[in-house]
Amino acid sequence: MPLTEAEKKAIKEKVINALRQAYDPEIPVNVYDLGLIYDIRIKEDKTIEIDMTLTAPGCPIAGMVVAIVEATVREALGDEYKVKVNLVWDPPWSPERVTPQGREALKELYGYDIVSEWLKQYKPSET
């Protein structure tokens, strides 16, 4: 029996809540609010497919971060679901992808809005 839109929405909310518990060990903001998640697809066969990126292509712990995301989502959803995480680099990540919650978390950590500072430096026409 196909999943209803309401079921897909509820599953996506669970996935997002789980992603908010997954962290890149080098950055103290969760992967969702850091803007690393590009897409979440819920397929009819109960496969959850997540496209994500990292802040830099040369990240030495890329495999670990992908494994953390996959394990966190799998644990939140249970064995009924398959979870597949695709590491993608296009489009490249930028601080503009950080959610408002992520910006607040970073501001608490560093004492200033690093996204706004980045925009001032790299996109002065947008500030």
Structure confidence by residue, pLDDT tens digits, 54-110: 999 888 899 999 999 999 999 999 999 999 999 999 999 999 999 999 999 999 999
Residues of the chain with CATH 3.30.300.130: 5-93
Q: What is the pTM of this model?
A: 0.91
d(CA 56, CA 121): 18
- Using N-to-C axis directions, what is the helix angle for 114-122 and 100-110, rounded to 10°? 100
pLDDT at residue 98 in the model: 96
> By three-state DSSP, how is residue 35 classified?
coil
CATH code, residues 5-93: 3.30.300.130
User: Residue 87: what pLDDT?
Assistant: 96
Please give the sequence-ordered ranges of beta strands (E in DSSP) within the chain, or none if there are none: 37-42, 47-52, 82-87
Question: pLDDT by residue (tens digit) across 18-45?
Answer: 999 999 888 899 999 999 999 999 999 9
Phi-psi region of 3 (alpha: psi -120 to 50; beta: other; left: phi over 0): beta
* Alpha-helical runs (H) found in 78-112: 100-110
